Amino acid sequence: MSGVVQEWFSIAEAAILLGMDAKTVRRLISKGALPARMVKPGTSKPMYRIHRRHIDGFGRPVTNAASISGE
């Protein structure tokens, strides 16, 4: 889909965009330093999504999300 801007990112995608390890992103979420929405609660390893504005808030703007999602 051309022209669609991705707003929510997985931990793995956010880690790539932020230039850090996924474990670091998980730690930031658990400490409350990186806001995220839990999308799979009640499991041993909850799934989160991080909004673009919070990734941008870390000083690394998301410019080409299509390269992350493989489009």
pLDDT, tens digit, for every residue of 11-51?
999 999 999 999 999 999 999 999 999 987 788 878 999 99
pLDDT at position 71 over 60: no
pTM for this entry: 0.72
Please report the domains of the chain, with CATH numbers, ordered by start residue.
Answer: 8-69 (1.10.10)
Q: DSSP string covering 22-45, please?
A: HHHHHHHHHHTSS--EESSTTSSS
β-bridge mates for residue 51, sequence order = 8
Helix (H) or strand (E) holding 48: strand 48-51
